[in-house]
Amino acid sequence: MTKEFDRRIGRHAIMYAFAEEEEEISLTNDLKRMDWLYGKGKVGSMELQKIVAAIETSAKRLGLVNPDIYREMHALYHAIIEALHGVTRGQVELGGLLRTAGLRFAIVRGRPFKNGDEGEWIAVAVYGTIGAPVRGFEHEAVGLGINHI
Residues in a beta bridge with 145: 124
Which helix (H) or strand (E) segment holds residue 141: the answer is strand 138-148
Quote the pLDDT of residue 89. Answer: 81
The total of other beta-carbon atoms located within 10 Å of residue 114's CB is 8
Quote the pLDDT of residue 1. Answer: 34
Could you give all domains of the chain from N- to C-terminal order, each with its CATH number? 9-148 (3.40.1510.10)
Residue 95 and residue 47 in contact, taking contact as beta carbons nearer than 8 Å: yes
Distance CA 101, CA 5 (A): 33
- Split the chain (149 residues) into runs of 10 and give each run's mean pLDDT: 72 95 88 95 90 97 97 98 89 73 95 92 96 83 97
Quote the pLDDT of residue 105. Answer: 98
Query: In 3-state terms, what secondary structure has residue 144?
Result: strand
Model's pTM, two decimal places?
0.91
Kindly list the distances between the CA atom of residue 29 and the CA atoms of 17, 98, 111, 124, in Å, as whole numbers in the listed order. Answer: 15, 40, 16, 19
Q: Which residues contact 53 (CB under 8 A, 6 or more apart)?
A: none
Distance CA 65, CA 99 (A): 30
